C-alpha cells in the first residue's frame, strides 16, 4: 500500500492566538473603513454634538465621530441590526479598526441611532456637497423612482375594520361578565385581602381592557383615514363639477354614488407599526411596507433626494421629490446649469408612468424642471412610435408629453432612466441586502432611509477615489 500523501503548508492554530493582529496591517490600504476613518472626522458633525451640549452630567458618552463612523460603515456593508453591529465590533477587523478595544453594546448603538436620526439629513447634504465639489453631479438627467421596502411590522399583528367591530363586541361582553363575577365574590375576598386595597383589577380583566383600548384606537385611526379620503374625493368631485359648469359641459355616463366616509370592512391597520401600509411587493405578494423614493443624478448615480411615503402609488410624488431635490442641491451649493444668456436651464427629470399627471407636469415645469414622464406603461419589446409633427398649441399636456418622448432627444433621455435610478435600488436591496426598515413610524423610517442613501453616496465617493488611484498608477 502506498502511504505517500500530499504535503500541506504548516499550520499552527495556537500561533494566531499569540500574535496581535492590527487592522492597519491586515486590511488593504484602500479599504472602505480607512476611507471613512479619514473622511467622517472632516464632516460637519455639529448636529450630532448638540444633543450632548444640553446635558453635561453623567458618564462620558462614546465619541460621536466614532459612533457616526461605525453606523455609516455598518450600513455601507449591509449590517443594520444593532445586535449584529455589536457582534461585528468584537469579531470583525474592519469594525475593530473603528471601535478599538472599547466597543459599544447593542443598546447604546440602538439608542444612538434613534436619538440622532434627524442629524443624518444634514450629513446627507454634507456628503452631497462633497460629491458636487468632485463633479459627480452633472444635472443632465435627474431620474425619479420609488421602491417598496418592507416595514418592521408583522401581517399577523393586523386586523380588519369588520373584524374589529366583532372583536369589540366580544371583548366588551367578556369584560362585563368578569366585572359581574368580581362583584359577586367581592364580599368573600374581603377577609383574605389583608393590607391590599381590594380594588386591583384581575389579570384577565386587565388583558381584555388593554386589548379593547388598542382595538378602539386602531378603529378610530381607520375611521379618521376614511374621513380624510372621503373629504379629498368630495373636493375632487366638486372641482370637476365646477370645471364642467364653467365649460358648459354635462356629465357623461352614470353619476357616481355618494362618497362613503366610513371604512370598508376589509380596511386593515397594523398594531406594531400603524403608519405602515399593505403594498404589493415585486413578484412576492403583499406585505406591510413603505414607499422609499429617490432622485438620482445620471452622471455617477449619486442620490440627490431621498424621502419616504406610506402612499402605495407614486402619482403624488413627482413634484415633492423634485422640490426636495432642488432644495438639497441649493443647500449643498450645487449650481444649476446655465444657458448662453446666463439664466438657469431647465433640468431634465425622467420618471415612469406611475408619476404622470397633467398637474404634475405643469408644476414640474414651474419649478424649472424639464419633465420626461411616460404617459402609459410600455409593453416589453414594444416598438416606440416614430416621431411625428409637433402637437398643436391647444393639445393636452398628455399629448405634448407623448410627442416629447417620441423625439430623438426624449427617447435618449427616458431610455437612460433604467440605468440611472433602477440599479441604485438593486445595489441597496440586492448587493447590500437592505430590504427592510428596522425602525417603526414614518418619521423614523424617513431618517433611516436618509442614512441608507447617504451611505450609497459614500460608496460612490470611495469607488471614485479607488478608480482615480488605479488610473494614476498609484
Phi, psi (degrees; rounded to nearest 5) at 296: -120, 135
Contact, 371 vs 360, CB < 8 A? yes
Which single residue is written with the C-alpha cell 466597543?
103
Contact, 70 vs 50, CB < 8 A? no
Q: Summarize pLDDT for 385-433 with one digit per residue, the tens.
A: 555 555 555 678 888 888 999 999 999 999 999 999 999 999 999 999 9
> In which band, very low, low, confident or very high, does the pLDDT at 17 lie, cut at 50, 70 and 90?
low
> Is pLDDT above 60 for 201?
no
Average pLDDT for 355-377: 91
Average pLDDT for 286-293: 90
CA distance 395 to 372: 17
Name the residue with higher pLDDT: 8 or 431: 431
Name the residue with higher pLDDT: 218 or 118: 118
Distance of CA 416 to the CA centre of its chain: 24
Torsion of CA 337, 343, 346, 347, to 10 degrees: 20
Q: Rounded to the nearest 5 degrees, what angle is found at the Cα of 50, between the Cα atoms of 79 and 76?
A: 15
> In which band, very low, low, confident or very high, does the pLDDT at 7 lie, cut at 50, 70 and 90?
confident
> Is pLDDT above 70 for 130?
yes
Average pLDDT for 194-217: 60
pLDDT at 57: 76
Name the residue with higher pLDDT: 89 or 172: 89
Q: Number of C-alpha atoms within 13 angstroms, CB side, residue 414?
A: 23
Q: Summarize pLDDT for 143-173 with one digit per residue, the tens.
A: 999 999 999 887 766 666 565 566 556 656 6
pLDDT at 258: 78
> Is pLDDT above 70 for 308?
yes
Angle between helices 32-39 and 442-472 (to 10 degrees): 110
Boundaries of every domain in the chain? 15-115, 127-153+275-446, 157-190+199-246+259-270
Contact, 148 vs 291, CB < 8 A? yes
Contact, 428 vs 450, CB < 8 A? no
Classify residue 344 by its DSSP letter. B
Chain mean pLDDT for the chain: 82
> In which band, very low, low, confident or very high, does the pLDDT at 202 lie, cut at 50, 70 and 90?
low
> In which band, very low, low, confident or very high, does the pLDDT at 355 lie, cut at 50, 70 and 90?
very high
CA distance 382 to 380: 5
pLDDT at 470: 47
> Is pLDDT above 90 for 106?
yes
Question: pTM for the complete prediction?
Answer: 0.79
pLDDT at 463: 93
- Percent of the chain predicted with pLDDT > 90: 49
Contact, 292 vs 449, CB < 8 A? yes
Amino acid at each position: 500500500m502506498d502511504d505517500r500523501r500530499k504535503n500541506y503548508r504548516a499550520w499552527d492554530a495556537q500561533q494566531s492566538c499569540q500574535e496581535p493582529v492590527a487592522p492597519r496591517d491586515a486590511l488593504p490600504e484602500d479599504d472602505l473603513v480607512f476611507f471613512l476613518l479619514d473622511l467622517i472626522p472632516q464632516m460637519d458633525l455639529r448636529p450630532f454634538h448638540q444633543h450632548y451640549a444640553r446635558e453635561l452630567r453623567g458618564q462620558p458618552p462614546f465619541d460621536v465621530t466614532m459612533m457616526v463612523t461605525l453606523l455609516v460603515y455598518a450600513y455601507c456593508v449591509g449590517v443594520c441590526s444593532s445586535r449584529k453591529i455589536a457582534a461585528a465590533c468584537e469579531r470583525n477587523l474592519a469594525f475593530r479598526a473603528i471601535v478599538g478595544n472599547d466597543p459599544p453594546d447593542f443598546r447604546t448603538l440602538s439608542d444612538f441611532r434613534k436619538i440622532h436620526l434627524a442629524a443624518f439629513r444634514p450629513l446627507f447634504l454634507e456628503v452631497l456637497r462633497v460629491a458636487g465639489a468632485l463633479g459627480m453631479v452633472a444635472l443632465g438627467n435627474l431620474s425619479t423612482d420609488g421602491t417598496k421596502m418592507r416595514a418592521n411590522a408583522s401581517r399577523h399583528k393586523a386586523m380588519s375594520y369588520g373584524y374589529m367591530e366583532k372583536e369589540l363586541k366580544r371583548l366588551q361582553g367578556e369584560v362585563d361578565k368578569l366585572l359581574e363575577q368580581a362583584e359577586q365574590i367581592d364580599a368573600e375576598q374581603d377577609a383574605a385581602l389583608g393590607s391590599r386595597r381590594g380594588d386591583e383589577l384581575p389579570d384577565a380583566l386587565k388583558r381584555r381592557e388593554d386589548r379593547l383600548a388598542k382595538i378602539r384606537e386602531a378603529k378610530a385611526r381607520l375611521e379618521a383615514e376614511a374621513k380624510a379620503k372621503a373629504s379629498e374625493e368630495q373636493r375632487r368631485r366638486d372641482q370637476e363639477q365646477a370645471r364642467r359648469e364653467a365649460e358648459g359641459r354635462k356629465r357623461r355616463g352614470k353619476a357616481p354614488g355618494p362618497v362613503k366616509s366610513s371604512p370598508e370592512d376589509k380596511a386593515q391597520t397594523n398594531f406594531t407599526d400603524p403608519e405602515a401600509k399593505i403594498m404589493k411587493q415585486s413578484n412576492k405578494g403583499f406585505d406591510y411596507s413603505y414607499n422609499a423614493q429617490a432622485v438620482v443624478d445620471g452622471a455617477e448615480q449619486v442620490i440627490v433626494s431621498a424621502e419616504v411615503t406610506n402612499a402605495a402609488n407614486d402619482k403624488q410624488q413627482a413634484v415633492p421629490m423634485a422640490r426636495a431635490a432642488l432644495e438639497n442641491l441649493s443647500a449643498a451649493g450645487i449650481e444649476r446649469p446655465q444657458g448662453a444668456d446666463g439664466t438657469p436651464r431647465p433640468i431634465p427629470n425622467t420618471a415612469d408612468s406611475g408619476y404622470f399627471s397633467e398637474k404634475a407636469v405643469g408644476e414640474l415645469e414651474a419649478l424649472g424642471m424639464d419633465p420626461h414622464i411616460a404617459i402609459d406603461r410600455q409593453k416589453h419589446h414594444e416598438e416606440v412610435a416614430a416621431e411625428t409633427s409637433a402637437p398643436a398649441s391647444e393639445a393636452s399636456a398628455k399629448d405634448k408629453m407623448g410627442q416629447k418622448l417620441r423625439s430623438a432627444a426624449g427617447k435618449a433621455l427616458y431610455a437612460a432612466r433604467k440605468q440611472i435610478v433602477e440599479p441604485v435600488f438593486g445595489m441597496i436591496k440586492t448587493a447590500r441586502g437592505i430590504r427592510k426598515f428596522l425602525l417603526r413610524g414614518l418619521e423614523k423610517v424617513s431618517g433611516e432611509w436618509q442614512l441608507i442613501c447617504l451611505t450609497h453616496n459614500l460608496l460612490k465617493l470611495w469607488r471614485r477615489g479607488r478608480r482615480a488611484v488605479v488610473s494614476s498608477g498609484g
